Amino acid sequence: MEIPSNLEEMEKLIQDEEKRRRFSRQMIIAVPASLELMSKGRASHPLAGKPAKANGELIYVEDWFEKVFGMPYLLHELNRPPLIIYFCRMALDRSVPVDNDVVYVTCHGSGGLLHNSEIERC
């Protein structure tokens, strides 16, 4: 599968109407929450700077997405492969919630994004 480079290409991947409806509904709720999060901010992730696990792999939690990149995930421009890949997961995989509880992590020297619900304490 080729990684989409913009939202139009992303929408082409969502062929299942139920997934499209779910994603659209959740985005309508999540974007205003993103603006509120940006204005209020939040404390660092409880595991920031610490090792954790995700899918049995040892990861290193950097911090919430907005602490690393300066704005909530859903307000950020999708101009980097890790952001696009996570966006695809959020849109296509029902187990990944559509919200800003996105955490920047490193694993084996590479950075990536995970939803907070996917991270386990060591």
For residue 20, the enclosing domain spans: 7-121
In a domain, 109, yes or no: yes
Return d(Cα 67, Cα 49) in angstroms, integer: 12
In a domain, 1, yes or no: no
Domain count within the chain: 1
pLDDT digits (tens, 9 = 90+) for 19-77: 777 777 777 777 787 888 877 889 999 999 999 999 999 999 999 999 999 999 988 88
| Portion of the chain with pLDDT greater than 90, in percent | 40
In a domain, 89, yes or no: yes
